[in-house]
Structure 1
Amino acid sequence: MHTQLDWSNVVTIREALSRASSFLREQGVADPAFEAELLVRHCLGWDRTRFLISMGEPIPAKVRERLAALCQRRSRREPLQYMFGTQEFYGRPFHVRPGVLIPRPETEILVEQLLQRADQAWPANQSLHVADIGTGSGAICITIACERPHWQVSTVDLSPDATAIARENAEQLGAKVRFLQGDLVEPLLEAREQVDILVSNPPYIPSRDVDELDDEVKAYEPRLALDGGDDGLDCYRRLCAALPSLLKQKALVGFEVGIHQAHDIAALMKGSGGIDQVEIVADLAGIDRVVIGMRTGQK
């Protein structure tokens, strides 16, 4: 049961902001004032500066109606990113909608680590073969292709919906990416391809925990991109088992991982026989978030 918003006496932008904020607070939204501002600015199409100096201006009726509709959607815990249709990642705007996981800030650490370590391991002008397993919105593969245009970047996803959205993002951002559809690394194994860099942010939430996630995640984001099997490690086992076949003699591997999973995944990497050195990197909250493996090419 959601309260209907009465906009009859809302005349100015300031009043609209106040009404939206009160409504979201009543609905139990965690940061109602912040989200209300984002919603009002989105409906107006304004940046923050223009918004702040125009609070006393009248709000157009169409904008008011659109704001009321978006507040109702947010009260049902629809993610703001799906409502706005975009999410920024590594300084670039990515289209998102139901069917793809919304890119998270933690995943930027994975990309950053791979780029830094590749720069240390190979000459700057070398064209490397990169495979991103689990395309989603394309945040990882497109960012890598934009940051290192001379690399050859491929990506694999099982979901046609995700691949379609990622293609849109690649086109919009001018990224050259090869899209493959299939189950994890199967298309690469079938083609007997080997890569210099393998990167993945696979589903890693244990099946029993998916239903305990916040409503806005479990009700809107694709379960296929969340559920990692009984212990959350199903995809990592398959990825690590394939490493000896997939990697060139010298190679770099990077996985994003869930809380308390890093050491198990580091052990899977080392146990694969395809990796010589493993390192765990924490995110800004101090949670072990990225596992990096290096195949040194030295016998």
Structure 2
Amino acid sequence: MHHTTYVETVETRKPARETDKPAYSRLIILARVALWGFIVCAVIGLIWGIYYGIGQLFYSNNPHFTIEQINIRIEQGIVTEDFVRRHLELTEGEMNLYESEPTELRQRLLEIPLIQEADVRRIMPGTLQLTIYGRTPVACLVKRTGRLIDGNGVVFVPPEGTPPTKLPIIAGIADLDSYATGEKLTHAGAMAALEFLRQARGHPKGNYLDVHIVQVHKDQLRVYLQPNAASMIQANAVVTLPQENLEKSFQRLFYILDEHIGNSEPVTRIDLSYDRVPVNP
């Protein structure tokens, strides 16, 4: 008996390649972000362009806002109006009020060692107002001809053409050459000399002292005085005092001067570096 064998053939198909869904999703997200970024940049550019155009049309290029008047008010110091005008290159009738920002002009002013503080304002339609607080010199520095110093210890030079002023001289500072114009002194002796001058100016009897030179010498100050008939101080009189505790030294100094005024006794030397004060007539 013959048997027939049937073999069933099963066709095996490879599954279709699935799309890489995570990578595709990232591409969609990046495309959307790029599109929105472009839209945002376009909108910002449009707004800025409109703003700039309006500013140019109605402000910067508008002859109505041409600077017709520049008011420069010097509140203190030796800086001059002409010096400020030349430094900022300001001229009426040529500049627009909106060409320069007040903050920018103020910063340019503060870069000048002569100027301590400044205020800049626009006043519609065509006035620029500058208020200047310059540095006031309290002494000159003997090692640098023409260099002055204010009460805070800042070194500066006067404007050209400024008449010389009679100021005390601070001498004896060894490293003075290392200080640039506009820099603040940190020398302990120099700061003590400035403090002496400050207390002398503010003392009720400060008019007794006509200071010529304050010499810094180690831990002392040697103060050379001009003659003063009211206080019996003679020409080239010198007062020596420690740099520390100046207030106490001032009390002793004016007590001695009052004694000599009362006795009509001239003074050429007072040494306050000792507890018992030597006084030479």
* Fold conserved between structures, TM > 0.5: no
TM-score by length of 2: 0.29
Structure with bigger RCO (C-alpha 8 Å, 6+ apart):
1
TM-score by length of 1: 0.28
Larger radius of gyration: 2
Q: Counting helix residues as a fraction of each chain, which structure ranks higher?
A: 1
